[in-house]
A and B are shown apart, each in its own frame.
Chain A
Amino acid sequence: MSAASDPDRRPAPPWPVVVAGAVAGALLLLPLAALVVKAPWSQMMVQLRDPAALQALRLSMTTSLCAVAVAFAFGVPLAWVQARVDYPGRSLVRALTTLPLVLPPVVGGIALLLAFGQRGLVGPTLGSFGVRLPFTTAGAVAAEAFVALPFLTLTVEGGLRQVDRRMEDAARTLGATRWDVFRTVTLPLVRPSLTAGAVLAWARALGEFGATITFAGNLPGATQTLPLFVYVRLNGSEPDGAIILSLVLLGISVAVLALLRDRWLRTL
């Protein structure tokens, strides 16, 4: 059947819409294409062997994975409470705990300082226990966890809401305790959401800049994560290193996207 005679054929899209859409696509893709095209590829191996760069990369990996672990340990219970416990003010709590999604990261950093800083709300109390967050690696982890947590809780809460509660009832009648049910029914059923949430949170933690530099500073080897290092290099004598490391971060982002494909769009 020719296209012209296809009764289901839709009319051609209006051209202004197509043009505007193309501009948006270009705005998103052109910079990324430029990054790939203009990258000093010949410098690749040299830059990646730079000990300072490797140190920043290692620190970024450590802090982002720690941030995901923190987000997991406390975010999954929060998601469970939000999905399963009906209490007054639940919507308000959800709105507030997802605020870091839209909050300028630098504001988050200042807020963290005012909470955990030496003269902050709870900083002195923590200090009396020997815990110091600002300008430490732990602080960098805290800043990353702060911005990454909502990605995990939102995704996992969405997944928990989709679990058929009657499946859990059925498991109870088969002799499973509440803990058995959580372990052997609920967790396996929300595993896709857990994976998606953890990967999204990790990607967000890995790219964190504003909150980290504000709250944890920019100390090489302690709080200078990869994005901070890239920024410093770009403004310094070696923009090539900045571009190569940007490519590395871009590669990680693309890998994350490929890993999740359409999954996170469904659960978020």
Chain B
Amino acid sequence: MRTPGLDARVVVRRGALELDAVLTAAAGETAAIVGPNGAGKSTVLRVLAGLTALAPEGHVVLDGRRLDRVPVEERPIAVVFQDHLLLPHLSALDNVAYGLRRRRGMHRAAARQLAGLWLEQVGVSARADARPAQLSGGETQRVALARALALEPALLLLDEPLAAVDAQARVELRAELRRHLATVPGVRVLVTHDPADAASLADRVVVLEAGRVVQAGALADLALRPATPYVAQLVGTNRWVGEGDGRGGATVAGVHLEVPTAPAGPVVLVVDPRGVALARERPVGSARNVWRGRVDAVEAGLGVARVRVGVPLPVVAEVTAAAAAELALEAGAEVWVAVKAVAITAT
């Protein structure tokens, strides 16, 4: 029975790294592997590509076929590497033609002709004769993408494809990448540390921490129920571990909160940063969960500011940029924090 898609258990033991990650993705789906540095994200890709050996208890099955013992060059894969790794002695065109000749056995002239079409697809046909050293970051990224897409892989692997591109080009390239990924009928696996990449490119996010999958699902689900502090930080929400009193309250870091849904005993509370209000004076009215804290940092965005308040209970609040300016919020400022009970989810 052939099930289209990827079914892998990636196991690698090497030095300090103990990697054991289950990864599944359907054909036509993009899975993003997200995690902190050293979590083993790139190693997962290398194993899928066949560049790093898989421990015996692991497996890589693609479209119903075991790939574990298939040599790299015979796997129906393509890789966009982090630094793109264009072959420095070949022109942009020949970099794309290289794969067509080796993997698909095309003759030189035909390969070069098809390579030209792929360069056109990604919008760099004008640079076909340029050597990699002469290409800009964005052009290099496009050639690397064309080189991978040209192989028409059943499994497309992308390792931080936008990391080597400057911030300005990244937004545009991300949108283009999204469009190109949609044309790949196979499985796409993307490694990234940037939640924006995961949000715009991936259907599903797999969070890897210290070699283990700590959570997998749609980004929205992760935001509702972040399994670890890292996931909470990734999706930009607050995650507290506290103690429920069984009477509609919970204590976190010495602060008593009113949480109607909190059960008795250990409880994880997730707080939407948009439900956290900040004020200079002690607020009056319905907000009952109120305490005084000091601002650690203010991250200004477009129209909104994310404010991190430190002691006693670390919390991120998302307020409008106007409010942040009006309150003169800056590191060290003393503020009142108020959290609506409905913004707190107990899990």
Contacts and interface: CB of A to CB of B under 8 A. Distances in A.
A171 interface: yes
Interface residues on B, range: 20 to 34
B72 interface: yes
A37 to B, nearest CB: 46
Nearest to B96: A174
Interface stretch (B99-107, B167-175, B198-206): B99-107
B102 A174 contact: yes
Contact of B88 (A167, A174, A175, A180): A167
B102 A180 contact: yes
Interface stretch (B4-12, B75-83, B118-126, B309-317): B75-83
Contacts of A172: 50-51, 72-73
B72 A170 contact: no
A111 interface: no
Given A167-B88, A170-B81, A185-B87, A175 B103 contact: yes
B98 interface: yes
A173 B89 contact: no
Interface in A145-161: none
B15 to A, nearest CB: 15
A169 interface: yes
A174 B83 contact: no
B235 to A, nearest CB: 32
Given A171-B98, A188-B89, A189-B89, A176 B83 contact: no
A9 interface: no
Given A166-B83, A169-B51, A176 B102 contact: yes
Interface string B180-220: 00000000000000000000000000000000000000000
A167 B51 CA distance: 12
B250 interface: no
B147 interface: yes
A148 B320 CA distance: 74
A171 B85 CA distance: 9
Contact of B81 (A166, A175, A188, A189): A166
A214 B72 CA distance: 52
Chain A CB within 10 Å — which of B49, B51, B71, B72 has the most? B72
Contacts of B103: 174-175
A125 interface: no
B104 A170 contact: no
B49 A173 contact: yes
A170 B73 contact: no
Contacts of B51: 169, 172-173
20 contacts: A166-B83, A166-B85, A167-B88, A169-B49, A170-B87, A171-B98, A172-B72, A173-B79, A174-B99, A174-B102, A174-B151, A175-B74, A175-B103, A175-B151, A176-B98, A180-B102, A185-B87, A188-B89, A189-B88, A189-B89
